[in-house]
Structure 1
Amino acid sequence: MPRLILFNKPFGVLSQFTDKGTEGSPRKTLSDFITVPGVYAAGRLDQDSEGLLVLTDDGQLQNRISDPKFKQPKTYWVQVEGVPDEAALKALRTGVTLKDGKTAPAKAEAIPEPENLWPRDPPIRVRKSVPDSWISLTITEGRNRQVRRMTASVGHPTLRLIRAQVGEWTLNGLGTGQWRKA
């Protein structure tokens, strides 16, 4: 039976167990939170993204979760600058053209701020003259910084990005930095 761990990755943590980056200022990694041997992240979350990271010791399962050819849906809660109108949401739903080509259609909808949301450290920048809002965005691709590039392409840069769901697994009940076996 494969081991499966669901982890709520905090902002600023690398999606790997070691840091081969710069000396003198070690960054936090998965090893600062998870002590289960032999598990590896199925996919990645950028250092400045938060939320659900699935880890497993099963290479085939890891591939099925992370390889875009399997079209595993991933849902993100995205705090964006401004308030997207229906035209912006429709563009996300039909696919937007990025430098590396057009994205597949996504599920996109305006949502209220997610309940029980933990504070981010450091907090996002707030500009009194520019409102912010939240959208839920579900994609089946896995391009580099795809969600951030998609929201920027429709005129609403991402301020905070939280992955809430990968396939059937959700973030529900996990505080930031917490993990559980699935």
Structure 2
Amino acid sequence: MQSDPIIDNALMIQIMLERIKSEVINNRSLVSDLRKIVAKALAEFSGQISSRNKLRLIGNSLRKELKPLLRNYSDALLHLVIQTAVEMAHLEYLGFSQWFDDVNEVDDKKVESSMNNTPISLTQWSGSLFLDRFIAVWIDNSLQQIENQAVLTMASSEDVNYLKDNLSSG
């Protein structure tokens, strides 16, 4: 039985999408780095978070330490998504060129440009629809969630170790 190139391409695309999903979900090094950075950011603090000033200092320390790591991670994710789009375009070219004569070859730069300059089709999303900003918003949201956790720690009269444990386990 001879394989069907279109089915082969569809399977390759599914495999690439699963690879991206797996890398995003199972990024153990990111989790490990996050734990180390949270510990480093909170190392100079102890006791209860009992004032807004201490809360502000903790928030600033967490943001300062975490932002570069999250930026690097989002840059790597953006690169991975764009490279996958290029690979998918090449697979589609191979599939279509077997059936049709006048299929244009893939221009990697055009695919990258399209990925960066074509808005994402999302409904119910109020943020930027361009891929780089869409991914960058995740950093801002993650940092806000971390700051919110510090506020909740203060509101529940818990201490810095409690905050560190919560941030390291999430």
| Bigger Rg, structure 1 or 2 | 2
Shorter-chain TM-score: which interval?
under 0.3
More helix by share: 2
More strand by share: 1
